[in-house]
Amino acid sequence: MSALAELHFLRPLWFLALLPAVFLLRVLWRRRGDVAWRNVIAPHLLPHLLSGNGAQESRCRPLHLLAAFWLLAVIAAAGPTWEREPAPFAEQRAPLAIVLHVGERMLAEDIQPTRLERATHKIRDLLALRPGARAALIAYAGSAHMVMPLTTDARLIEEFAGELSPELMPRPGNAPAEALALAAQLLQQDDAGGGGILLITDSLQPGALSTLPEGVRAEILAVAAPPGSPAPISGPPAPPLDNATLAAAARVLNGGLVKVSVDDADVEALARRLDRRVASGGTEGEGERWRDAGYYLLFPLAFILLLWFRRGWAVRWQG
């Protein structure tokens, strides 16, 4: 019943096309029989051109199919719809602020080649899934810094992310609240509005988001090996993934926690979550559109057209 309640037409003015259809079908119905053709066709040709003539007539005539075809075509053109779908360009054009942790432990090699390098690879893969979208890069350790403002050039984001290292950060530490607040401020200042935030980190301290302003929402990509993984041979210490702390942080950020994977499953999950967030965020219906179901009527229309290839239907109209 909910689908029927939402049923409406995107282009209802197309129903005006039924008016000439009614006039045409009425004229053709009145001209049924071979009276009109006897004045223009030789009598010895009529039996070969006109249907009927004493034989059992079909209940389905070309006139009936013409009426059905016209009606279905008008309904399809009017655009029946009853459900929404994400707008095809709303998600791709929504800006994304990437907040990347560049602390000392991000050089750990439990995630090959290092946590930081794997994070830059995931940034590249995620941007490839959102072509044409604007993205910004913010790096943080003990302090947060704007590395690249919003841009559509994904290569710039990739190059700057690849050059980041803990040595470049002026203050060591792990303070994500300042970086997330900077990302939220960047998106609020953007003319397009909306957008999403992605926090890429290996760990968070309990209470690290206590100073975060209200209303900041973000997804988290955890770049650390799960407990029980082999310890790296070289590099800084690599504490395993603290799933409980990161999951709690994701709840504070009203987002989800995605763990790094060796394939593209993580970035694909992030892309879906970011797209759904943009489609459902803001005012009701923003980033969405009504799904045009008129395309489904192309199949019965094509079937009716196939019947016109039956022998005798192209000329033998009357009966």
The domain over range 90-288 is classified in CATH as 3.40.50.410: yes
* Amino acid 318: pLDDT: 45
Q: Tell whether the model's pLDDT for residue 317 goes beyond 50.
A: no
How many helices (H) and strands (E) the chain has is answered by: 12, 10
Give per-residue pLDDT as tens, 229-276: 877 777 787 889 999 999 999 999 999 999 999 999 999 999 988 877
Higher pLDDT: 172 or 57? It is: 172
* Amino acid 306: pLDDT: 81
Mean pLDDT, range 19-28, rounded to an integer: 81
Share of residues in the chain with pLDDT > 70 (%): 77
CB atoms near residue 25 (< 10 Å): 15
Instruction: Report phi then psi at 77, rounded to 5.
Output: -65, -30
Confidence of residue 26 (pLDDT cuts 50, 70, 90): confident
* Amino acid 315: pLDDT: 45
Instruction: Report phi then psi at 132, rounded to 5.
Output: 85, -5
Helix or strand (DSSP H, E) at 188 = helix 176-189
CB atoms near residue 311 (< 10 Å): 6
Give per-residue pLDDT as tens, 136-156: 999 999 999 999 999 999 999
Asked if residues 281 and 193 have their Cβ atoms less than 8 Å apart, the reply is: no
Residues of the chain with CATH 3.40.50.410: 90-288
179 closest CA partner among 144, 220, 222: 144
Q: Which residues does 245 contact at the CB level (< 8 Å), separation at least 6?
A: 203, 204, 205, 206
* Amino acid 149: pLDDT: 95
What is the pTM (predicted TM-score) of this model?
A: 0.62
